[in-house]
């Protein structure tokens, strides 16, 4: 069947470490984004040493996947010399693009004669084609549009520009505007714009009247919010609309999320885009996609961020967790699998086994744990953070992810 688009639509997936990067790649990412140990907006995650960065880019390129490096912190005057030194250290690495927020960072990269493309972060709140024209004149190849940009606005922007457009399609929503938020620094002393956000927009709040200190009232917001981020974005049911509007790349939030989150979201969005590109009727897959995304830890989903279609209550609620990430298979033969465990696995457990989706084929299955061996000794349970030899009632291949429904 003929392709419906001549563009290479991308799934852009987060990677908080080498392990997550590898699973993002094997589970369908077209591009991975990650940061070093300085000047990116996830200062509290482990991030990548220079040696790790080199390995990550090599691994991505060996699997025909793009490597996008993040230098997206806002820099203070005292940061300029350290930034120059860091650019000097990483300049030899063949990134496919570097993501920036601060115009000063872009200027320093260009002055260092970096030859890779520059992408502009959503932190710059780009909402119109004139802003895009401005950034193109200053060497930006791709714009990650502000999360506040509506579908209709994207269509209008595309009419005016051939610039690559990227949007967030899944995960937590930094807004007010697009993450340039002062709440974290004010409440905790941790500067979100320096990569150290405490995520106060995701806390649960109640309202207390000054003269009634013991009377806590729940907060429910019915007309959206410009400060609090109470739902997670999920555009899986609307991917086709956004491709047709002119979006080139779909970005998944979550460099601090689990390996399982990264892999499962990557494979579902990749499958959705592959269905579109190959003219495959996806209607019978949509329940599967939604069901799988419901099995990663999340808050209630929305696909209607700024009420393009209807008013929805945006009440604050806790995370929803319907499955546990048990581990993944590092090697296997016909009888046994080596599982790196993240939660306890018990003999007799009935577990889900999930795989990358290849050639539109979904291999997911269930499997029962028949036997467990750790350090050469048979046991009833494998502790977390071990490499356990597990016999299932059916073969489990390398790269398979093992989960348990709650």
> What is the per-residue pLDDT across 346-405, written as a single tens digit (0 to 9) for each?
999 999 999 999 888 899 999 999 999 999 999 999 999 999 999 999 999 999 999 999
First-to-final CA distance of the chain: 40
In the three-class reduction of DSSP (H, G, I as helix; E, B as strand; rest coil), residue 369 is classed as strand
Average pLDDT estimate for 45-56: 88
Query: What HEC string does 219-244 produce?
Result: CCCCCCCCCCCCCEEECHHHHHHHHH
Per-residue pLDDT at 47: 75
Give yes or no for residue 310 having a pLDDT over 60: no
Mean pLDDT (the chain, rounded): 87
Give yes or no for residue 182 having a pLDDT over 80: no
Average pLDDT estimate for 58-75: 95
Per-residue pLDDT at 307: 54
Provide the CA 190 distance to its chain's centre, in angstroms. 22
- Check: CB of residue 138 under 8 Å from CB of residue 108: no
Per-residue pLDDT at 123: 87
The residue extents of the domains of the chain are 10-197+224-302, 324-405
Class (C level, CATH) for 10-197+224-302: alpha beta
Task: Supply φ then ψ for residue 257, to 5 degrees.
Answer: -85, 175
Q: Confidence class of residue 190 from pLDDT cuts 50, 70 and 90? A: confident
Per-residue pLDDT at 54: 97
In the DSSP assignment, the letter for residue 166 is E
Lowest model confidence (mean pLDDT) among 12-26, 53-67, 101-115, 300-314: 300-314
In the DSSP assignment, the letter for residue 303 is S
Q: Confidence class of residue 196 from pLDDT cuts 50, 70 and 90? A: confident
Hey, which bits of 210-364 come out as E strands? 216-218, 232-234, 249-252, 301-302, 323-332, 337-341, 345-346, 350-354
Hey, which bits of 72-219 come out as E strands? 97-100, 117-120, 140-144, 164-172, 206-208, 216-218
Taking the C-alpha atoms of residue 101 and residue 40, their distance in angstroms, rounded to an integer, is: 9
Answer with the residue of higher pLDDT: 149 or 224. Answer: 149
Per-residue pLDDT at 63: 97
Per-residue pLDDT at 42: 61
Q: Confidence class of residue 188 from pLDDT cuts 50, 70 and 90? A: confident
Class (C level, CATH) for 324-405: mainly beta
CA nearest neighbour of 59 among 13, 23, 35, 87? 23
Distances (CA, A) of 333 to 196, 326, 379: 44, 20, 20
> What is the per-residue pLDDT across 275-294, written as a single tens digit (0 to 9) for each?
999 999 999 999 999 999 99
Percent of the residues in the chain that have a pLDDT greater than 70, as a whole number: 84
- Check: CB of residue 352 under 8 Å from CB of residue 404: yes
Per-residue pLDDT at 134: 98
Q: Confidence class of residue 335 from pLDDT cuts 50, 70 and 90? A: confident
CB under 8 Å to 62, separation ≥6 — which residues? none
Task: Supply φ then ψ for residue 390, to 5 degrees.
Answer: -120, 130
């Amino acid at each position: 069947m003929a392709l419906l688009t001549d563009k290479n639509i991308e799934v852009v997936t987060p990677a908080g470490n080498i392990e997550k990067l590898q699973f993002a790649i094997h589970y369908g990412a077209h591009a991975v984004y990650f940061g070093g140990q300085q000047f990116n907006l996830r200062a509290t995650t482990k991030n990548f040493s220079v040696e790790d960065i080199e390995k990550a880019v090599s691994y991505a390129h060996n699997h025909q996947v793009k490597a996008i490096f993040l230098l997206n912190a806002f820099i203070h005057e005292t940061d300029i010399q350290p930034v120059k030194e860091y650019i000097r250290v990483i300049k030899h690495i063949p990134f496919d693009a570097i993501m920036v927020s601060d115009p000063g960072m872009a200027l320093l990269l260009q002055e260092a004669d970096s030859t890779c493309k520059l992408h502009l972060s959503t932190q710059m709140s780009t909402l119109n084609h004139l802003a895009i024209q401005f950034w193109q004149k200053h060497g930006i190849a791709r714009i990650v549009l502000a999360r506040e940009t509506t579908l209709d606005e994207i269509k209008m922007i595309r009419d005016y520009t051939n610039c690559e457009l990227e949007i967030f399609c899944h995960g937590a929503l930094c807004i007010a505007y697009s993450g340039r938020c002062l709440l974290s620094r004010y409440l905790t002393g941790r500067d979100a714009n320096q990569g150290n956000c405490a995520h106060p927009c995701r806390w649960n709040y109640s309202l207390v009247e000054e003269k009634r200190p013991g009377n806590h009232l729940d907060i429910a917001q019915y007309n959206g919010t410009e400060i609090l981020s109470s739902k997670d974005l999920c555009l899986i049911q609307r991917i086709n609309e956004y491709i047709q509007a002119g979006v080139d790349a779909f970005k998944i939030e979550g460099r601090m999320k689990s390996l399982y989150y990264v892999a499962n979201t990557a494979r579902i969005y990749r499958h959705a885009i592959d269905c579109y590109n190959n003219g495959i009727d996806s209607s019978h897959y949509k329940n599967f996609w939604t069901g799988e995304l419901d099995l990663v830890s999340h808050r209630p989903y929305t696909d209607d961020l700024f009420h393009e279609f209807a008013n929805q209550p945006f009440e604050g609620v806790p995370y929803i967790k319907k499955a546990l990430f048990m581990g993944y298979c590092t090697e296997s033969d016909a009888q046994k699998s080596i599982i790196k465990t993240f939660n306890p696995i018990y003999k007799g457990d009935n577990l889900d086994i999930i795989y990358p989706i290849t050639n539109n084929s979904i291999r997911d299955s269930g499997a029962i744990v028949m036997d467990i061996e750790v350090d050469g000794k048979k046991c009833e349970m494998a502790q977390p953070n071990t490499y356990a030899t597990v016999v299932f009632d059916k073969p489990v291949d390398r790269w398979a992810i093992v989960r348990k429904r709650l």
